[in-house]
């Protein structure tokens, strides 16, 4: 597992050994969408890695104006891996985006922002590496229908596991009756778990592209799964999220199914999150560990938690950046919105995992989801955590009770803040609270990002009537 290439020279040997015909250069936009540009192997040289690959930055949402559209992709040879899905041998290479007008890494490139965040961490002297371990959950459906017109709007997803199919007459076979039901998908064996072989194929393919996989299972909701991937450094972990999502979607696609990382595609069942484990290390030592303290957390770790929870409402603009994100953040569905921390308690927005020894002490933020751009999500949490350390921010807690059982009045009485309830709320928080981001994220990027999210997510969503509104208000 891990790297296949360690230098530009090794890249070309790797390409020769694998009879590569195409090089696929990939980069990530602010939404987290992966884009690619393909060259024949004969047209690529060592200078391509030094000088960069030209592309049109004005064709990417909210990036460059057309009169300053020329930009460069700066490939990172060490990120190379073989695409497991192409008919002709193709090697994929991650790229950063370079701004030729300012002569620096592009301020709106998420991967470049993540690299600048790591540089800032080193400059603070707090640590020399930050580890992140994301847990990306997903749904696999057999069919999805979407309509969004002026007079009609609906979606319909289907899965053989869906309880709604219990009385269905199947044209190609009989109804088996074996289904997990709402909130019944956690760990039942076959035939209730219908996705064992599909997930196994995903695991094998993830291994092919260099990811180390350690656990695979059905998740709580109907048609929901999770594959556990080993943690890595901030950039490595974010790169792995992009690989992971690509592999899961493609394996499902090639099996006649469709995978989604949408946080809440099923009303009334659990949603999909991206729990993120985090720690800061320096000189080979875990700076989050202190024996004998609550959950073996050091002051630095506790202040780090304090920083993230203090800024969580604006951090959410990056970690939960879709309108659908906030349909998941509802107490009772293992999606904590209460901003406190606790040991082993999955109802707290920050959990300290059980059995954390010196090497494994870490904090787990449970509110993020996979609609986020992983580079921006990880960078924003790290920046909030650094601010918390610098200002010695104490988080509320620890609170070891079942927080889902608290009423709103009880939450207020305890002085606990909550996550925003809408994307609008998180973006408005970002406008008010962004100083902690400015050591890395420029005012232009922050302004562009929040305007883009308002224009493409918030306003279109708020303008549309829903089926529930017709159901409850049509006869008023």
Check whether residue 460 and residue 411 sit in a common domain: yes
pLDDT at 210: 97
Check whether residue 74 and residue 173 sit in a common domain: no
- Could you list the mean pLDDT of each consecutive 10-residue stretch along the chain, which spans 476 residues? 91 98 98 98 97 96 95 98 98 98 97 98 98 98 97 96 93 87 93 97 98 96 97 98 98 98 96 97 97 94 98 98 95 78 86 84 96 98 98 92 77 85 97 98 98 98 96 95
Check whether residue 84 and residue 151 sit in a common domain: no
271 is in an annotated binding site: yes
Domain boundary among 45, 73, 106: 106
Please give the residue range of the domain that contains residue 59. Answer: 8-106
> How many folded domains does the chain comprise?
2
Token output for 64? 């460059």
pLDDT at 170: 86
> Would residue 122 count as lying in a domain?
no
Measured in degrees and rounded to the nearest 5, phi and psi for residue 77 equal -55, -35
428 is in an annotated binding site: no
> Would residue 328 count as lying in a domain?
yes
Domain boundary among 41, 71, 106: 106
> In CATH, what number is assigned to the domain containing residue 417?
3.30.590.10
Check whether residue 374 and residue 337 sit in a common domain: yes
236 is in an annotated binding site: no
Interval 204-227: pLDDT, tens: 999 999 999 999 999 999 999 999
Q: How far apart are CA 36 and CA 66, in angstroms?
A: 20
Residue 199 known to be catalytic: no
Check whether residue 28 and residue 133 sit in a common domain: no
Check whether residue 134 and residue 95 sit in a common domain: no
Residue 137 known to be catalytic: yes
21 is in an annotated binding site: no
Domain boundary among 59, 74, 106: 106
> Would residue 43 count as lying in a domain?
yes
Check whether residue 164 and residue 244 sit in a common domain: yes
Check whether residue 195 and residue 101 sit in a common domain: no
Quick one: DSSP state of residue 457?
I
To the nearest 10 degrees (0 to 180), the angle between helices 423-432 and 443-453 is: 160
> Would residue 140 count as lying in a domain?
yes
311-326 burial code (b ≥16 CB/10 A, e <16): bbbbbbbbbbbbbbbb
Residue 219 known to be catalytic: yes
Check whether residue 293 and residue 336 sit in a common domain: yes
Residue 24 known to be catalytic: no
Check whether residue 156 and residue 70 sit in a common domain: no
| 363, 288 contact by CB (below 8 A) | yes
**Which of 17, 56, 70, 148 is flagged as catalytic?**
56
> In CATH, what number is assigned to the domain containing residue 70?
3.10.20.70
pTM: 0.96
**Which of 83, 107, 135, 239 is flagged as catalytic?**
135
> Would residue 381 count as lying in a domain?
yes
> Would residue 36 count as lying in a domain?
yes
| 236, 299 contact by CB (below 8 A) | no
> Would residue 115 count as lying in a domain?
no
Check whether residue 98 and residue 167 sit in a common domain: no
| 417, 314 contact by CB (below 8 A) | no
> Would residue 116 count as lying in a domain?
no
**Which of 217, 346, 394, 400 is flagged as catalytic?**
346
Q: How far apart are CA 438 and CA 76, in angstroms?
A: 26
């Amino acid at each position: 597992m891990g790297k296949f290439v360690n230098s530009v020279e090794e890249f070309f040997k790797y390409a020769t050994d694998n009879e590569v015909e195409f090089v696929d250069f990939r980069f990530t936009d602010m939404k987290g969408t992966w884009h690619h540009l393909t060259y024949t192997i004969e047209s690529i040289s060592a200078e391509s890695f030094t000088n960069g690959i030209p592309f049109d930055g004005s064709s990417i949402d909210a990036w460059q104006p057309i009169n300053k559209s020329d930009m460069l992709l700066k490939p990172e040879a060490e990120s190379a891996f073989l695409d497991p899905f192409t008919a002709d041998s193709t090697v994929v290479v991650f790229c950063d985006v370079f701004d030729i007008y300012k002569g620096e890494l592009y301020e709106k490139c998420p991967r470049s922002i993540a690299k600048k965040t790591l540089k800032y961490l080193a400059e603070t002297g707090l640590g020399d590496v930050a580890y992140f371990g994301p847990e990306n959950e997903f749904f696999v459906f057999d069919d999805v229908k979407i309509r969004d017109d002026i007079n009609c709007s609906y979606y319909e997803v289907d899965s053989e596991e869906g309880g709604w199919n219990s009385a269905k007459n199947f044209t190609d076979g009989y109804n088996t009756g074996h289904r997990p039901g709402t909130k019944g998908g956690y760990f039942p064996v076959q035939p209730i778990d219908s996705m064992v072989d599909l997930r196994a194929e995903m695991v094998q393919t993830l291994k092919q592209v260099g990811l180390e996989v350690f656990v695979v299972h059905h998740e709580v909701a109907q048609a929901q799964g999770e594959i556990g991937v080993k943690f890595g450094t901030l950039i490595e972990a974010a790169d792995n999220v992009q690989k992971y999502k690509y592999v899961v979607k493609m394996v499902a696609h090639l099996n006649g199914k469709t995978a989604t990382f949408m946080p809440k595609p099923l009303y009334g069942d659990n949603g999909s999150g991206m729990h993120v484990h985090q720690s800061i290390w320096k000189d080979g030592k875990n700076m989050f560990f202190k024996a004998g303290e609550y959950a073996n957390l050091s002051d630095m770790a506790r202040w780090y938690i304090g920083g993230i929870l203090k800024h969580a409402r604006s951090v959410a603009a990056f970690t939960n950046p879709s309108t659908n994100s906030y349909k998941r953040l509802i107490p009772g569905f293992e999606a904590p919105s209460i901003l406190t921390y606790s040991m082993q308690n999955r109802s707290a927005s920050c959990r300290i995992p059980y059995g954390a020894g010196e090497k494994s002490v870490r904090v787990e933020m449970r509110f993020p989801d996979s609609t986020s751009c992983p580079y921006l999500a990880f960078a924003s949490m790290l920046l909030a955590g650094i601010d918390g350390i610098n200002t010695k921010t104490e988080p509320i807690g620890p609170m070891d009770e079942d927080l889902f059982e608290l009423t709103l009045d009880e939450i207020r009485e305890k002085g606990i803040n909550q996550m925003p309830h809408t994307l609008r709320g998180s973006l408005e928080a970002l406008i008010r609270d962004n100083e902690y981001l400015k050591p890395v994220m420029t005012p232009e990027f922050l302004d562009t990002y929040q305007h883009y999210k308002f224009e493409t997510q918030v306003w279109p969503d708020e303008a549309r009537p829903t089926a529930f509104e017709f159901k409850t208000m049509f006869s008023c």
